[in-house]
Structure 1
Amino acid sequence: MTGKESPLRDLDWRAASPVLVLVLLLTQVGLYVWMAQRGFEFTDESYYFLNYLYWRDLIGTMSFFGAYFEWPFRMLGQSVPAIRIFSLLLLLASSAFFTREVLGYVSRREGSSRETPWAFMVAGMAASMFYFGHLSTLRAPSYNLLALCSMLLATGLLLRLLERGVLFTNARLTVFCYGLAIGACGLGKASSGVMLVLLHALFFVLANRDWRLRHLIEFLVLSLAGVSLNFVVLQLAHPQWLEELREGMVLVSMDGSHNLLGSVKSFWWKVQALAPTFLAWTLGAGVTVALLARWIIRSRRTALSVLVVALVVGSLFGLINAMDAPNSTTLPGSAKLIWWKIHAFVPTFLAWTLGTGVTVALLAWWIIRSRRTALSALVVALVGGCVLGLIWGPEHWWLPLLGLAVLLLWSFEGLSRKPFRLVRGDLTDFALMALLFALPVAFSFGTNMPLLEHSQMAAVFAITALLLRLLRLARLGILAPPALVVCLAALCLPALVIQLRAATDVHYTYRQLSALGEQSLPVHLGAADNTLRVDAATRETLQSVIGAARAVGLAPGRAILDFTGDGPGLIYALGGRPLGTAWLLGGYPGSQTIAAHVVEKLPAQALRNAWLLSSDNNPRAIKDWQQLLNARLGPDAHELVATVHIRAPYRWGENAPDSLSVQIWKPRVAALAEGK
């Protein structure tokens, strides 16, 4: 630990490291591209497709992501595999820019002119593919992708603007593009956009060095101009967008699936539940690292003793706090509950045990040879345990796990100072780390899913914080080059496992009947006649619905109002045009109210001319849709012309049937026209 920076580009491993990390990234990309033509998702992803094509025709929406992805989708010939690959390219490009700017920002603040080693950029790109982890088979661009890419670009641009000597070439263009990214995030996902602005403002106050009034006004005006351009283009493309947004807010208030206050409370309860175990691990691991790193040069026996004691105490403390007190008062009931608690905790415990076990073994073997080797082994084991926790541990642990790893790696830097002390740059360093760990929460803010689990889609922010710490350790001479290679490669593995699981295990897919790698049967669907590869049950479902619809005269391009509650995929497969809303959500407390509101808002003639889809046994179906239409149009405005029984693409509730009925209703005005 010399405290002197080691120029990475002059080391012998500089050619080998990027190759190894690049191979892992290309493997992920290859798997993703191979699976791009496989799988058809009937709900969320089909909803995205309909939004690209018909976002102007909706009566209400809270997100205008369709406006951003309409032309890419149309220019790609409405190809589903192509737009899925477009998602990947957009994600990789924005994450590469973000990683480069974050690592470059810290280097430039320290007076270094070195470029970010591209092995780190590749590792950051690999980390961005965590986006496909939580909802693994939703691969088409969505409001989530637009929000994430905008947040990556905006944060990278902000860091570029905050570096020393902000008056660089094209600084004004950079500020304008920053505003452009902020505006895109807000129009794609308003809750994330608001949180992003708040977090950036706080970081700006802590990290900005140029407080000249002229500079601040220029920054504000140009960034607002960038934000405004989004709204100007949206106004030109769709003059009624504001009315559509207002109506979207009304629909969301009726929905019952999005409760912002409930989401915040749930997140806070989750934090409270995780805090004891996290603090226990922090205590155990913190004592280990601090004492070992400080004493390793003094006494081998003392160092190993401290290591073993801290690991044992931390592990026991963590296990005790991870297991809640059993509710049962009987001995057999308590024993059974304790067993289930242990069984649930095994993945995380094994990950940490393996990681710390490797630490002990390597240190015991190497501690007498080289202090640097011993510390490098400790870092590798720490990163390895973190990676194993990301792969096999509970999803809600991912953010505390990475936070602990970053905290411990930072302690290596602090303990390398003689004497140990905090320096002026630490405040900005802490602020940057806090920003990177807060951004995943901002990304998921407002979701109707568990926030911590959902935020793993934006894990690239937190993993970049880990990459920053590894780069610092390497430049300080604490981390040996071979150990750095291993760490970078290890950080690519969790995202690779995500792709492998989606290809081989149906339990890691989202609303699919089989793993993507097993879906090989071609099927043609949609107005653009897309060819996708699906499983046998899904192909039979699609072919039977499309065949029945064509037989009764439902041609592509006809307006369809879906009352099945989860029919975006049926509308898209039929090549239909959604009437009023791309997805009339069923199964939520406010679903019936929303259906009544949509029927009331739609023009009567449009309702009379529309084809209808319904179901009498789908648990998400709108139950009283006929009464709603009869009240608006009078009786017998539509006639039942076909009923198809399909395999349920997913289960909604415990008692959901395996087979669903889909009823096709024809407008009588069309039938009368055909009879003349």
Structure 2
Amino acid sequence: MLRAITFLPLAFVGLLSFATCLFVWHYSGYGFDFTDEGFYLFWLAEPEAYRIHIPVSFFGFVYHPLYQMLHGDVVWLRRANVLITLVGAWVLSVLTLRTLWPQRSASDMILPLVALGLATIALGYFALWWLVMPNYNSLTLQGMFVTFIGALLAESRRSWRSTLGWAGIAVGGWLVFLAKPSTAALLAPCVLFYLLATRKRDGLMLAFTVVLAAVLVLLSAWSMDGSLFRFIERITQSIALLGTLGSGQELGKIFRIDTLPLSTLEYGLAVILALAIIAGAYGLKRWQGMGIVLGSGASFLAVLGLLVLAGLQAPVIRLEASVLIAAPIAGALFACLTGRSGLTALCPHLPFALLLLAAPYIYAFGTNGNYWYQGSAVGFFWVLSAIVLLAPGLSRDVQPERLAPLVLLFQFLTACLLLQGVTHPYRQELSFREPHVAWNLRDQGSVLLSQGFHDYLGTVRRAAAEAGFKAGDNMIDLTGRSPGLLFDLGARSLGQPWLVGAYPGSDALAMASLRTESCEAVAKAWLLVELGGPRSLSVDTVLASWGASLAADYTLAGAFKTAPQAGGFEAQYTQQLFKPARPEGVTVSVCDAKRLGGQDIAHQQEIIR
């Protein structure tokens, strides 16, 4: 009876893992964000088309082969991203559990099942904004997975397994650098601390890791620019213009510790969660019969989690993923309660637990949002840290399968977060549980959209086609929030994939970015404007940078209303499509003269500085 009840939660771990994967897989086919997701898609489709990277990231070059392989199908790109994330989290979880229970047989199937349950918690990453498209944040997470996997495999003694681990650290660090250099800068010393603290001090292999990472960066520089110096110039120019934008990602503003964004109720939930973890772990340590109680309670949670994913039971309150910080806190308190023996057993694993604890901060480092909020998207690391802190203090008889109730608890919380993600999706008109209709995005694959988004895209396509716009034509988006619209039209967005508005330096960034385009390209470009829009750029100022005027040099080709929640704004605004009316040769001559003017060059140099 005891054995049956003990293994019942394990069966539910498998069932809930399957349900969670199916849930994310299904809803990957819903919605489209006209801002961030349009920005991501432009970088994936044409990473070589732009020299200015705002934010500083090269994720488009990494994911571009995947984009080509899947023929730009948005839904399958999202699903590929889900699969890559799940596999990375699963491998890391398996290695972590094998480190904690080295005596388990390699053919044991129970440990990989528990690891799968842990890995599905990582899918909570998509719940925060429901931006499932491959992007610089997902590449950062996946690169961290590779780095941590390598750190676990690396040893001071030489073997093929150890060599693979050292190489994994290099590859993971390289991926993180291409995704988010600020995170790579913090990740490197943290991983070095872990290696030194665990006495993995092989100088030759450390040198091999550094050289391999450097070679990978050099190869990336050569593939992008044909020269390391041109690559460095690309980075420094992007950093300078990032400072011009004033988005809060400047070097002087990224070193900070933010306040934890939890309400009083959520603090209470975090305390209850911590107490539940400590009580369950202590019960398993002192009383093996606790498995009956925990097994029964966890099975109930599993059923409730399945109901949540099926939409039959909604969470009573909205959760913030930041409550997961309670997990490692509970793990640390439990370790202290186990006394000297438990702390002694923990010592070899403590550096890795600390690395996992710091991982969400490392991930968020360099963003302009609250670090706790941004880092909570990868709260999976906190959960894994809690497992590492708890396991050494448990009885030797407590095997990985006995952790199933704890895994189910976090799977239940993840299910609640995922349901919130699809019920209140980021910058979408409706809950994904409402009826949606199919739209063939850029004629590269169907995605399910709300009726409002569907009609909005249809109206814009018809207006553009009637005015003579063709896929591949140049366009400048001055709305400050519509890169997804340009992507669907098949336009080539000049200057930046997203000329972002509403920041102090948005106009200056737009002008500097457009200077990287030839005057011939600018002269042929159509304009999308939104006069009086919430993120609109200053149309007259930007056009004047190449000697143009909206009234004199462009003809209105169409007008349409935005859909509610397009770009995150409920109010509807009028957008206008303009096509160039001035002879191309005249525009090129005026643009060349404007750019060659000493006053304009001095102004541009001041912007770069």
Superposition TM-score tier, normalisation by shorter sequence: 0.7 to 0.9
Is 1:129 aligned with 2:49?
Answer: no
Change in Cα spacing, 1:362 to 1:73, as seen in structure 2 (3 Å) is closer
Partner of 1:561: 476
Contact 1:560–1:611 (CA under 8 A) maintained in structure 2: yes
Contact 1:203–1:432 (CA under 8 A) maintained in structure 2: yes
Name the CA distance, whole Å, in 2 between partners of 1:34 and 1:264: 39
Partner of 1:660: 573
Partner of 2:603: none
Contact 1:561–1:613 (CA under 8 A) maintained in structure 2: yes
Aligned match for 1:29, one of 21, 33, 38:
21
Moved more, 397-406 or 550-559: 397-406
Is 1:221 aligned with 2:221?
Answer: no
Deviation at 1:146, TM superposition (A): 0.6
Name the CA distance, whole Å, in 1 between partners of 2:559 and 2:584: 18
Partner of 1:74: 68
Partner of 2:598: none
Partner of 1:150: 143
Change in Cα spacing, 1:242 to 1:661, as seen in structure 2 (3 Å) is farther
Partner of 2:528: 613
Deviation at 1:525, TM superposition (A): 2.7
Matches within 5 A, 1:6-45: 16-45=8-37
Change in Cα spacing, 1:474 to 1:20, as seen in structure 2 (3 Å) is farther
TM-score (norm 2): 0.83
Partner of 1:191: 182
Aligned match for 1:373, one of 253, 276, 289:
289
Partner of 1:513: 429
What secondary structure, in the 3-state scheme, does the structure 1 residue paired with 2:46 have?
A: helix
What secondary structure, in the 3-state scheme, does the structure 2 residue paired with 1:517 have?
A: coil
Name the CA distance, whole Å, in 1 between partners of 2:522 and 2:392: 63
What secondary structure, in the 3-state scheme, does the structure 1 residue paired with 2:131 have?
A: coil
Partner of 1:85: 79
Change in Cα spacing, 1:580 to 1:461, as seen in structure 2 (3 Å) is same
What secondary structure, in the 3-state scheme, does the structure 1 residue paired with 2:366 have?
A: coil
Partner of 1:644: 560
1:515-541: CA deviation from partner (whole Å, max 9, x where unpaired): 112242112231x44321111111111
Matches within 5 A, 1:89-104: 89-104=83-98
Name the CA distance, whole Å, in 1 between partners of 2:456 and 2:142: 35
1:112-170: CA deviation from partner (whole Å, max 9, x where unpaired): 766681132112211111211221x20011111111011011111111113xx632225
Matches within 5 A, 1:316-355: 344-349=263-268, 352=271
Aligned match for 1:500, one of 408, 419, 437:
419
Deviation at 1:74, TM superposition (A): 1.2
Name the CA distance, whole Å, in 2 between partners of 1:118 and 1:406: 22
What secondary structure, in the 3-state scheme, does the structure 2 residue paired with 1:647 have?
A: coil
Partner of 2:366: 446
Contact 2:324–2:383 (CA under 8 A) maintained in structure 1: no
Aligned match for 2:329, one of 388, 392, 404:
404
Q: Which has the larger radius of gyration?
A: 1
Is 1:119 aligned with 2:106?
Answer: no
1:89-124: CA deviation from partner (whole Å, max 9, x where unpaired): 10011111111222223444xx77666811321122
Contact 1:27–1:496 (CA under 8 A) maintained in structure 2: no
Name the CA distance, whole Å, in 2 between partners of 1:242 and 1:234: 8
Aligned match for 1:542, one of 457, 480, 490:
457
Residue ranges of structure 2 left out of the alignment (5+ in a row): 306-314, 587-609
Name the CA distance, whole Å, in 1 between partners of 2:140 and 2:199: 25
Is 1:204 aligned with 2:124?
Answer: no
Deviation at 1:347, TM superposition (A): 4.4
**Percent identity of paired positions between Structure 1 and Structure 2:** 19
Matching residue's letter, 2:152:
L
Deviation at 1:56, TM superposition (A): 0.8
Aligned match for 1:582, one of 497, 511, 516:
497
Partner of 1:522: 438
Deviation at 1:203, TM superposition (A): 1.2
TM-score (norm 1): 0.75
Name the CA distance, whole Å, in 1 between partners of 2:293 and 2:365: 37
What secondary structure, in the 3-state scheme, does the structure 2 residue paired with 1:147 have?
A: helix
Contact 1:348–1:394 (CA under 8 A) maintained in structure 2: no
Contact 2:44–2:64 (CA under 8 A) maintained in structure 1: yes
Partner of 2:514: 599
Change in Cα spacing, 1:34 to 1:670, as seen in structure 2 (3 Å) is farther
What secondary structure, in the 3-state scheme, does the structure 2 residue paired with 1:632 have?
A: coil
What secondary structure, in the 3-state scheme, does the structure 2 residue paired with 1:180 have?
A: helix
Change in Cα spacing, 1:160 to 1:651, as seen in structure 2 (3 Å) is closer
1:45-87: CA deviation from partner (whole Å, max 9, x where unpaired): 1111110112111130111100111111111111011000001
Matching residue's letter, 2:174:
G
Change in Cα spacing, 1:554 to 1:421, as seen in structure 2 (3 Å) is closer
Aligned match for 1:176, one of 167, 180, 183:
167
Partner of 2:132: 139
Contact 1:53–1:70 (CA under 8 A) maintained in structure 2: yes
Partner of 1:626: 540
1:593-626: CA deviation from partner (whole Å, max 9, x where unpaired): 2123223443221110111111112110002x23
Name the CA distance, whole Å, in 2 between partners of 1:581 and 1:26: 40
Name the CA distance, whole Å, in 1 between partners of 2:292 and 2:93: 23
Aligned match for 2:447, one of 520, 524, 532:
532
1:265-312: CA deviation from partner (whole Å, max 9, x where unpaired): 3x24x16x99xxxxxxxxxxxxxxxxxxxxxxxxxxxxxxxxxxxxxx
Deviation at 1:429, TM superposition (A): 2.6
Question: Between Structure 1 and Structure 2, how many residues are aligned?
Answer: 563
Partner of 1:458: 378
Contact 1:522–1:531 (CA under 8 A) maintained in structure 2: yes
Name the CA distance, whole Å, in 2 between partners of 1:612 and 1:358: 57
Residue ranges of structure 1 left out of the alignment (5+ in a row): 1-10, 275-343
Contact 1:648–1:657 (CA under 8 A) maintained in structure 2: yes
